[in-house]
Amino acid sequence: MLKGKTAFVTGGSGAVGAAVVRVMAGHGAQVAFSYHNQETKALALQEELCARGYKVRAYPLDVLNGSEAQQLAATIEQDLGPVDILINNAGLTQVMPFALIEEDDWDLIMNVNVKGMFLVTKAFVRPMIRRQHGAIVNLGSLAGMRVLEVPVHYATAKSAVMGFTLALAREMARYQIRVNAVVPGLLTDGVSVHVPDKQRVDYEQHCTLGRAGTPEEVAELVAFLASDRAAYINAQAIQVDGGI
């Protein structure tokens, strides 16, 4: 499905990011991915997949450093070739009530989840524009689309992912670059591990499938949207939530 493609995934050392890296490599892509504070996990993932015959490389990146992102885009193109696919997965959450959220907390969550996505996309989309080809998939969250008991600053940031996706998709269409979002619900791993047991039970009771999803299930949709099989899918936010 992705043979001959080169993909870049931000936050590839986390649960969902690692699943995306594994699935995309399994579908034939060369995959570069970034990590920030989890070098050991990132290098272990690289070693695991390279040992299986896949071409995967891990790179350190602070998504809030625009010049670093631009340099990494050039480095990956030298190492693996032009990047066809960008997966904006890097994200962060904090579990706290609104009354306890301080200005620094707000800025941290908005910066990592929104500004980081902007800076990385800006760095990687320019070569796509020159080549008139590409696909971008942004990772959102059901927290930004439903009335749920979730941290307000995280929900706000993930709502911004939707606006970013829609506006960017419209602008990039003239360059044959598709932009979509994948919107996971409750998962068995990743940021969902911070969800209190009471809320987890409530979610599963209201979910038509009666369970949490897996990072691998999210990753399969990401890979599909990034592929040419999804050539007529653009400006969509597709939920992977088990039916809420």
- Which residues form the catalytic set? 154
Alpha-carbon span 220 to 89, nearest angstrom: 14
For tokens 């960008």, the residue is: 86
β-bridge mates for residue 6, sequence order: 30
68, 43 Cβ separation under 8 angstroms: no
Q: How many other CB atoms sit within 10 Å of the CB of residue 196?
A: 10
Q: Are 55 and 80 in contact (CB under 8 A)?
A: yes
